């Protein structure tokens, strides 16, 4: 367990270095800077997927930094997000504009240092594009957020190679590469560092429901 958490932290650090170089290059090509700023939470109202090690790293961080009462509040917020998302597909979730349970009162990410790679890789030249309400499945995906392509391609390439090795070593179930973040985080918090969580309830439903 601790090994997976440690390896995930190293992977984030490695990915961040590569992403930063890609973002600088993307800004140079576009002739403009990214619009992302602290407190802008436009992209924090869509479904975020994570991996099992990422959920465990987030849970480890929460247990390490929060008091018992604050951790209970965090779990309650996760439960609220899960309840609000029940039965929705990707489109319905985005249309409902459900806020991430990890947004604080100022609209900032409270788990920024350990946020999933899906969040680390997402940057935009246009907050308006991030906030636009999707009307159909064609409106979903990175293509609707200008400037997000390079980061997401890099994160996917690095992540796939890393998790493939973990799967080959039997350290992670391949079905746990794509988990619904609030469900996975809540499961990992509840289990603790002592045993591998069962992330079955956090896996994407074959019908498309989350």
Neighbours of 17 (CB within 10 A): 10
Distance of CA 57 to the CA centre of its chain: 12
- Ranges of each domain in the chain: 2-202
pLDDT band at 113 (very low <50, low <70, confident <90, very high): very high
60 contacts: CB under 8 Å, gap ≥ 6:
5, 188, 193
Segment 48-77 mean pLDDT: 95
CA distance 114 to 136: 31
pLDDT band at 77 (very low <50, low <70, confident <90, very high): very high
What is the percentage of the chain residues whose pLDDT exceeds 70? 97
Neighbours of 27 (CB within 10 A): 15
pLDDT band at 2 (very low <50, low <70, confident <90, very high): low
pLDDT band at 37 (very low <50, low <70, confident <90, very high): confident
- Can you count the helices (H) and strands (E) in the chain? 8, 2
CA distance 184 to 167: 18
Per residue in 123-147, pLDDT tens?
999 988 888 888 888 888 777 889 9
Per residue in 146-174, pLDDT tens?
999 999 999 999 999 999 999 998 889 99
112 neighbors 37 (Cβ within 8 angstroms): no
């Amino acid at each position: 367990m601790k090994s997976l958490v440690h390896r995930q932290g190293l992977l984030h650090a490695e990915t961040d270095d590569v992403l930063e170089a890609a973002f600088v290059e993307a800004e140079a090509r576009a002739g403009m800077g990214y619009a992302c700023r602290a407190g802008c939470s436009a992209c924090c109202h869509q479904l975020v997927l994570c991996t099992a090690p990422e959920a465990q790293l987030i849970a480890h961080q929460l247990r390490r930094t929060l008091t018992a009462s604050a951790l209970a509040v965090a779990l309650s917020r996760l439960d609220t997000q899960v309840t609000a998302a029940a039965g929705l597909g990707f489109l319905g979730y985005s249309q409902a504009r459900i806020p991430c349970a990890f947004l604080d009162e100022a609209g900032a990410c409270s788990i920024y240092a350990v946020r999933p790679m899906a969040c680390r890789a997402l940057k935009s030249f246009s907050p308006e594009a991030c906030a636009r309400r999707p009307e159909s499945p064609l409106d979903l995906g990175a293509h609707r957020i200008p400037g997000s392509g390079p980061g997401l391609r890099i994160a996917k390439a690095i992540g796939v190679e890393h998790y493939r090795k973990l799967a080959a070593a039997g350290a992670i179930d391949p079905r746990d590469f794509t988990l619904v973040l609030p469900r996975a985080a809540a499961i990992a918090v509840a289990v603790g560092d002592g045993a591998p969580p069962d992330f079955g309830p956090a896996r994407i439903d074959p019908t498309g429901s989350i």
